[in-house]
Amino acid sequence: MDRKQMLIEVLNKLIPYRDLAEGFLALVKQTQDDDFIESLFVFIKTQIAQIKDKKIKQDIIEQIENIKKMKDKEIASSKKDIEEADKMLDALISNNF
């Protein structure tokens, strides 16, 4: 499959999501300019990669935030456990003396 055919397929799939896709599709179907097709192909490929990169970055940020929340809960739980242990120890010491 050549680049022109790949562009036609990609643009057909993008039409419901991007208004300009239909216009670019018409241009690609009519043009014989290989430089235009190559430039548009590289542009769309780059945009798709950036969208994927943004999604991956957002997923990583969400996971880091979840880890921070879990760590904060663990620290709070540890502090509570230490306070309870201190109270129990204080009570034992108070009762023995």
Instruction: Quick: pLDDT tens for 14-46.
Output: 888 888 889 888 988 998 888 988 998 898 888
Q: How many domains does the chain have?
A: 1
Rounded to an integer, what distance in angstroms lies between the CA atom of residue 88 and that of residue 20?
A: 70
In angstroms, what CA-CA distances link 94 with 85, 89, 90? 14, 8, 6
Q: What tens digit of pLDDT does each residue of 60-88 get?
A: 889 989 898 998 898 888 888 899 988 99
In angstroms, what CA-CA distances link 83 with 32, 71, 72? 77, 18, 16
pTM: 0.55
Determine the Cα angle at 45 with ends 43 and 46, to 5°: 65
Residue 84 domain boundaries: 3-96
